[in-house]
Amino acid sequence: MTKEHTMAERLDQLAEKRAHVEAGGGADKLQKHRDKGKMTARERVASLVDEGTFQETGAFRRNRTTTFGMDKADMPADGVVTGAGYVLGRPVHLASQDFTVMGGSAGEAHSIKVTETLKASLTTGTPFVFINDSGGARVQEGIDSLSGYGKVFYANVLLSGAVPQISIISGPCAGGAAYSPALTDFIIQTRKAHMFITGPGVIKQVTGEDVTQDALGGADAHMSRSGVVHFVADDDEQAILIAKKLLSFLPQNNTEDPPIVDPDDVVEPNEKLRDIIPVQSNKGYDVRDVIMEIVDHRDFLEVQAGWAQNIVIGFGRVVGRTIGIIANQPSVMSGVLDIDSSDKASKFIRFCNAFNIPVVNLVDVPGFLPGVAQEHGGIIRHGAKMLYAYSAATVPKITVVLRKAYGGAYLAMCSKDLGADKVFAWPTAEIAVMGAEGAANVVFRREIEAAEDKDARRAELVEEYRETFSTPYMAASRGLVDDIIDPADTRREIAMALELLAGKREIRPAKKHGLGPA
């Protein structure tokens, strides 16, 4: 005879099963994880979302594999916590891998849970945050685990350009697992985490090279060498704070504009900007000092700060409106464009365009970096990515020429001819094919050679060329600069331009997509 259970008994059973799921791999494994200075999967979720807003999905999902003892394995939530919650009052979908459950390994059910959450993110038009902490594919499930990865990758691509995707790397992320973060928009990696395709052991076997995990796939290596990660965090807590700040700048999806947040309405002249650029045109300075004087509350979130440092990218606000900033950095390599800086800037421009974020370009560029290594490395192909990204972008594009704007690099930093809606120049701007010194050697070669005092004559002709061509007034006379402004008025001019361009609409030829340089 079947025993009838009361509602109270059923609720007790539910509470027991839920407690088991929330315990992950058990108290001992959870504590061991904490002892390493890491949050648990559920602690990360709780830290990310607003209190009391997380709604879990798939807590009782189980794998269907029975081989290699999997039918008897205890895997609460199949090693990944998935669901939705609110971050700073706005909804997000998320997944957080649980390393205490079979090392966070991804099997079929695990990956399907992530994929379903990705698709829910797309359906609802909400950002997706994936907290990675996994030993990789669950080998006991064989090809089913690889199929699961494939489903996640496919979903990542479906979401691309539709909703923002952020990956947090909080532990191991190896092999195929590394490609999901690579398909997302931003990667935040903690210093305790490692991400690579093949580990030190495999590399040792194949190449004979000895390499540590940190040197191969640590956060600093990916920030300074590979350019894979966008932010480095000391620990889980800081990584989550970065994710929250990043989300605050972004719209929920590609059909919305970014939120207007805490506008600083002060647009009075800022005389500090008049003194930032050195009088000597060959002397460097930190362009971030310019940025801080332009954005609201001196609040600038720099992206990929440790990679390709000759260009600075990141998010700020002007009178509450989110902007993406692309700025040459004269204090590093004189601010030249090279392979890495071109890749860094072009991807950021494409992101801003996808999510309706106006771009503001601060230009002080002497050209593209010359050299055999750059040419053989494909500087033509990589530099073309910037030309393509700016030309394809339909968001408001505002360019401010601070000082040097030479040759093809002038065009590549969003000139009027590449679709800039507003181009302003400071009086210190030098817009020309090349610097006056180099140009004079070409244009006036014979006159210099014929002169009795070659150095004096050359100096005269350099100054003549500079006054004729290397000034903003020549560019302004051709309509390539809209206005020459007092540096103190830069913030005001940008704010007014953003307001005027807020309703910008631009029609492009109908096509599936363009075929930009690879």
Catalogue the active-site residues.
175-176, 408-409
CB 99 within 8 A of CB 33: yes
CB 267 within 8 A of CB 293: no
Nearest to 102 by CA among 143, 62, 45, 57: 62
DSSP 192: T
* Tokens read off for 383: 């530099």
Cα–Cα dist 79/103, whole Å = 8
Quote the distance between the C-alpha of residue 306 and its chain's center.
12
- The DSSP H or E segment spanning 179 is helix 179-182
SS3 83: strand
SS3 239: helix
Angle at 494 between CA 488 and CA 495, to 5 degrees: 105
DSSP class per residue in 375-439? HHHTHHHHHHHHHHHHHH--S-EEEEEEEEEEHHHHHHTT-GGGT-SEEEE-TT-EEESS-HHHH
Cα–Cα dist 307/92, whole Å = 29
Residue 400: phi, psi to the nearest 5?
A: -120, 115
Cα–Cα dist 386/308, whole Å = 14
SS3 44: helix
Amino acid identity of residue 234, one-letter, is: D
Alpha-carbon dihedral of residues 359, 362, 365, 370, nearest 10 degrees? Answer: -30
CB 373 within 8 A of CB 339: no
Q: Which residues share a beta bridge with 361?
A: 326, 399
Helix count and strand count (H, E) for the chain = 20, 17
- The DSSP H or E segment spanning 223 is none
Nearest to 426 by CA among 444, 401, 463: 401
Cα–Cα dist 120/112, whole Å = 12
